[in-house]
């Protein structure tokens, strides 16, 4: 998948001066499809390993604000459209012992959902709260929301709201995020209203902070 994505990017850059916009758009679609398939495969592997009790947990010391800003930059660079992600922080910046890959999977899935299921002109809000013994991440959108009757199965595999069936997606994002949060012995909470938006809160405690 990485080879397909990289080759499409090289083609797009080399052909940009002489190629019709419609053909460049098709190359972008190839890239996006390859990225989506790669993400889905990785998500399925994570879920399978977690459910079998075989997912690795390798905590390292990470500076939380820098980690979040780098994640947002990835979305701005590789996203198909430029979206406004408004980042803010409360408390002093801290280091915490977390699994870098799992935390990236948690937050990237939540950000991806927020961007996917909200209007392209709307803002997605990303807040990090640093406390002495915990760090909390809040990702909030102004999107379509999740029907109340679908909120009971949010963390089930392939679960999708009945109001977004026409929108591309795998139904794996929250299932993966929940399992990765569980490995950190953290908590995840979803609050949502139809046509108002969704806020997802992830709280990780006792992470072994460093000065």
**3-state class (DSSP) for residue 150:** helix
pTM of the model: 0.77
Residue 114 and residue 22 share a domain? no
Query: Tens digits of per-residue pLDDT, 122-173?
Result: 999 999 999 888 999 999 999 888 888 887 878 777 555 554 555 555 567 8
Residue 121 and residue 35 share a domain? no
Domain holding 88, by residue range, is: 59-205
Q: Looking at the 3D structure of the chain, how many domains does it have?
A: 2
Query: Tens digits of per-residue pLDDT, 67-76?
Result: 999 999 888 8
Residue 116 and residue 190 share a domain? yes
């Amino acid at each position: 998948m990485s080879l397909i994505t990289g080759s499409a990017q090289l083609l797009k850059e080399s052909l940009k001066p002489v190629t019709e916009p419609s053909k460049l758009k098709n190359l972008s679609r190839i890239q996006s499809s390859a990225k989506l398939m790669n993400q889905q495969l990785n998500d399925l592997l994570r879920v399978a390993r977690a459910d079998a009790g075989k997912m690795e947990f390798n905590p390292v010391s990470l500076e939380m604000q820098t980690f979040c800003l780098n994640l947002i930059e990835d979305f701005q660079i590789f996203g198909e459209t430029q979206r406004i992600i408004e980042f803010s922080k409360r408390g002093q910046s801290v280091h915490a012992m977390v699994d870098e890959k799992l935390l990236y999977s948690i937050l990237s899935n939540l950000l991806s959902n927020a961007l996917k299921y909200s209007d392209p002109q709307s803002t997605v809000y990303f807040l990090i709260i640093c406390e002495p013994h915990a760090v909390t991440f809040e990702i909030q959108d102004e999107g379509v929301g999740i029907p109340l009757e679908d909120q009971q199965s949010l963390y089930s595999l392939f679960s999708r709201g009945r109001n977004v069936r026409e929108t591309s997606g795998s139904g794996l994002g929250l299932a993966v995020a929940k399992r990765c949060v569980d490995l950190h012995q953290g908590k995840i909470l979803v609050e949502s209203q139809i046509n108002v938006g969704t806020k997802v809160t992830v709280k990780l405690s006792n992470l072994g902070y460093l000065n």
